[in-house]
Structure 1
Amino acid sequence: MKLFILYQTDNWKSKASRICFGVFDTRAKANESAKWQELSNSNSKVVVLEITLNIFEEI
């Protein structure tokens, strides 16, 4: 099963600046939530990472 993690980050999309805003079952729901919360602006970007459930790995 695939899950999608929604992050807000800086313009350079560095891992150190990531803030998690939720876990979703579809990419469309993650993007819709990011738009509704207005997470993307001139100083920040949105990153949606696809992960597989029940697999141990570095994100």
Structure 2
Amino acid sequence: MKLFIIYQTDIWKSKASRVCFGVFDTRTKVIDSAKWQELYNHNSEVVVLEVTLNLFEEV
């Protein structure tokens, strides 16, 4: 099963500036939530990571 983690980060997409905003089961829910929460703006970017459930790996 695939899960999608949504992060808001700076415009350079550095890992140090990531703030997790949720975990979702479909990409459409991620996009809808990011638009509803207004995570997109001129000072930030949104990063969506696709991960597999029950798999041990570095994110």
Please tell me the TM-score bracket, short chain as reference: over 0.9
| Count of residues paired in the alignment | 59
Shift of 1:15: 0.7
Task: Specify every segment of 5 or more residues in structure 2 that has no aligned partner in the other structure, as ranges.
Answer: none
TM-score, structure 1 length as denominator?
0.97
TM-score, structure 2 length as denominator?
0.97
Output the CA distance in 1 between the equivalents of 2:5 and 2:23.
5
Q: Which runs of 4+ in 1 moved over 6 A?
A: none
Residue matched to 1:38 = 38
Structure 2 residue 10 is the aligned partner of structure 1 residue 10:
yes
Shift of 1:23: 0.2
Output the CA distance in 1 between the equivalents of 2:34 and 2:20.
11
Output the CA distance in 1 between the equivalents of 2:13 and 2:48.
11
CA distances 1:2-54 after superposition (whole Å, capped 9, x unpaired):
00001000001111110000000001100100000000100001011000000
Output the CA distance in 1 between the equivalents of 2:50 and 2:36.
20
Residue matched to 2:51 = 51
